[in-house]
């Protein structure tokens, strides 16, 4: 493929073509970013590649594109994407555009003689589509945060909450792995995304042993699954080191005195009126009881507030209660971490925040029927608040605050220097095998036998 035949929708910087033509290395580490969590968790890998002076480029799909979700983080972490796919439209359209456009870029680089090593993250639509684009080019990816599989406490555990909430019994039951089930499609579409990416992966960077266990049970080869920890640890430490320079408390002085953070943005919680109201009304009750509450409203949250006719209610709560802060997403990660250091509880349906709270030692409440980070619950630092009704959500959030010392004793489970481990592991395979993609005769090492005929057809 020639330069002029690349999709016209893609925006390239000149440096991309310089890297494509460079003879310094046959390898190109391609860090794919797209959403706010992608940028936060891929940034430490970019930093590590820079330190090693390894050849890399940053691909932005454009899934998140405005200042609060992308631009601010790029500035904060010093990320300069080499190209942007500029995807637009509905989810299915964006997925198709990533496959087509990134597939064309990988094809172009391969025709320049490059071995492309894409790094996809987590469970985003970009992860699923980018890994598909790579696989279609006989290229295997590095999956940062591999093996995220949702687990749900058994129904009888939730049923007991309806009749009588007793903290110690519930807390203890959540820490027993056999009390959990697998198979949920939630969060949607993230569970599909992470599972669909699996076959295209040549290096599974599993955050914890439970993720590795899931991947092995699904049939992935153990020699390509590595328990590395989670790169969010490196990102959080980066922000903590700069937190003293944050101005967030000048903007929101109330947060200095401790607060409960809420965020509600998962499709399953927004799509269901009952689930959304169970969480919203529990939050409202806490506000009226005088608890300091921070609501971070994401794009989906804003749509739900309008769809369910709660715009005036939000306005009324903001004006009447000085202990309530309602805000759109903050652009800088350092501000988030600086503020969260003062939080008493994080009540969230986010996946990443469950990890961050574990590392920071802050009690977490997951506002779902399940978790795709169940290890954070099983280890004792996180509670599930199933949105069955507002009273259950309220009881779980209050109990997390009341028993904060117990939750804070949970071990930090996401490792040390995970980004360094990931890059080192990938480089080790490349040095030994020259690529991540492998056919079965290569895995079984028959191609190393003297009788094996060398050569491959180029497609």
CATH code at 76?
A: 3.40.50.2000
In angstroms, the Cα distances linking 306 to 48, 90, 217, 232 are 43, 20, 43, 32
Per-residue pLDDT tens over the stretch 258-294 = 999 999 999 999 999 999 999 999 999 999 999 999 9
- Residue 287 lies inside a defined structural domain of this protein: yes
**Pair (128, 192) in one structural domain:** yes
Pairing verdict, β 141-144 and 115-121: parallel
Could you give the angle at which helices 232-242 and 352-360 cross, rounded to 10 degrees? 60
Q: Where are the alpha helices (DSSP H) in 78-178?
A: 91-111, 125-135, 155-163, 167-174
**Pair (249, 353) in one structural domain:** yes
Structural domain count of the chain: 2
Pick from 339, 341, 342, 309: which is nearest to 327 by CA?
Answer: 339
**Pair (109, 251) in one structural domain:** no
- Residue 162 lies inside a defined structural domain of this protein: no
In angstroms, the Cα distances linking 197 to 50, 135, 231, 341 are 26, 9, 19, 34
Helix (H, G, I), strand (E, B) or coil at 382: strand
- Residue 235 lies inside a defined structural domain of this protein: no
**Pair (23, 63) in one structural domain:** yes
What is the Cα–Cα distance from 376 to 64, expressed in whole angstroms? 27
Average pLDDT of the residues in 71-75: 92
Contacts with 291 (C-beta within 8 Å, 6 or more apart), sequence order: 259, 260, 323
- Residue 16 lies inside a defined structural domain of this protein: yes
For the chain, the helix, strand and coil percentages under 3-state DSSP, each to the nearest 5 = 50, 15, 30
**Pair (225, 332) in one structural domain:** no
pLDDT for the residue numbered 2: 75
DSSP symbols for 181-213: EE---PSTTHHHHHHHHGGGEEEEEESSHHHHH
**Pair (207, 258) in one structural domain:** no
- Residue 163 lies inside a defined structural domain of this protein: no
**Pair (89, 191) in one structural domain:** yes
pLDDT for the residue numbered 193: 97
Q: For CA atoms 380, 271, 323, 286, give the dihedral sign.
A: negative
For residue 1, what pLDDT band results from cuts at 50, 70 and 90?
A: low
**Pair (363, 432) in one structural domain:** no
Per-residue pLDDT tens over the stretch 201-214 = 999 999 999 999 99
CB contact at 8 A, 279 and 384: no
Contacts with 278 (C-beta within 8 Å, 6 or more apart), sequence order: 387, 388, 389, 390, 392, 393
Query: pTM for this structure?
Result: 0.96
- Residue 178 lies inside a defined structural domain of this protein: no
**Pair (134, 24) in one structural domain:** yes
**Pair (92, 72) in one structural domain:** yes
CB contact at 8 A, 148 and 120: no
For residue 65, what pLDDT band results from cuts at 50, 70 and 90?
A: confident
In angstroms, the Cα distances linking 408 to 243, 337, 348, 374, 376 are 21, 17, 17, 16, 12
**Pair (288, 421) in one structural domain:** no
Place of tokens 């985003």: 124
**Pair (434, 378) in one structural domain:** no
- Residue 458 lies inside a defined structural domain of this protein: no
Average pLDDT of the chain to the nearest whole number:
96
Per-residue pLDDT tens over the stretch 336-356 = 999 999 999 999 999 999 999
- Residue 161 lies inside a defined structural domain of this protein: no
Supply φ then ψ for residue 198, to 5 degrees: -45, -50
Average pLDDT of the residues in 4-27: 94
Pairing verdict, β 293-297 and 11-12: unpaired
Pick from 297, 304, 352, 299: which is nearest to 326 by CA?
Answer: 297
Structure tokens at 350: 């986010």
Domain assignment of residue 310, given as a range: 244-408
């Amino acid at each position: 493929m020639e330069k002029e035949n690349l999709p016209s929708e893609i925006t390239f910087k000149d440096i991309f073509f310089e890297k494509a033509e460079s003879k310094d290395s046959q390898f190109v580490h391609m860090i794919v970013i797209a959403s706010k969590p992608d940028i936060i968790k891929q940034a430490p890998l970019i930093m590590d590649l820079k330190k090693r002076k390894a050849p890399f480029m940053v691909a932005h799909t454009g899934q998140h594109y405005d200042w609060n979700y992308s631009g601010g983080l790029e500035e904060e972490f010093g990320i300069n994407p080499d190209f942007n796919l500029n995807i637009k439209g509905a989810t299915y359209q964006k997925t198709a555009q990533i496959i087509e456009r990134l597939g064309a870029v990988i094809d172009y680089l391969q025709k320049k003689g490059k071995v492309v090593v894409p790094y996809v993250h987590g469970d985003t639509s970009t992860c699923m589509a980018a890994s598909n684009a790579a696989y279609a080019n006989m290229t295997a990816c590095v999956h940062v945060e591999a093996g995220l599989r949702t687990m749900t406490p058994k129904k009888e555990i939730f049923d007991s909450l309806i009749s009588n909430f007793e903290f110690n019994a519930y807390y203890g039951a959540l820490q027993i792995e056999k009390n959990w089930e697998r198979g949920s499609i939630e969060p949607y579409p993230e569970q599909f995304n992470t599972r669909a990416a699996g076959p295209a992966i040549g290096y599974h960077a599993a955050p914890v042993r439970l993720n590795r266990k899931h991947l092995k049970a699904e049939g992935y080869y153990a020699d390509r699954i590595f328990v590395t920890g989670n790169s969010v640890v490196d990102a959080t430490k980066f922000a903590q080191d700069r937190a003293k320079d944050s101005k967030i408390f000048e903007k929101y002085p109330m947060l200095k005195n401790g607060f409960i953070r809420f965020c509600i943005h998962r499709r399953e919680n927004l799509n269901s009126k009952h689930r959304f109201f169970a969480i919203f009304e529990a939050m409202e009750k806490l506000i009226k009881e005088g608890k300091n509450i921070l609501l971070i409203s994401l794009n989906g949250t804003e749509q739900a507030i309008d769809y369910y006719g709660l715009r005036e209610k939000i306005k009324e709560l903001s004006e009447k209660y000085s202990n309530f802060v309602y805000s759109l997403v903050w652009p800088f990660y350092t501000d988030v971490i600086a503020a969260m250091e003062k939080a008493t509880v994080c009540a969230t349906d986010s996946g990443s925040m469950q990890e961050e709270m574990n590392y920071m030692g802050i009690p977490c409440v997951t506002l779902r029927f399940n978790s795709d980070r169940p290890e954070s619950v099983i280890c004792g630092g996180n509670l599930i608040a199933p949105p069955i009704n507002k009273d259950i959500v309220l009881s779980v959030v209050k109990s997390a605050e009341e028993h904060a010392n117990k939750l804070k004793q949970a071990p930090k489970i996401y490792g040390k220097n995970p980004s360094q481990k990931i890059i080192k592991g990938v480089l080790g395979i490349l040095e030994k095998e020259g690529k991540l993609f492998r056919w079965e005769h290569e895995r079984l090492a028959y191609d190393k036998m003297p009788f094996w005929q060398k050569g491959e057809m180029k497609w």
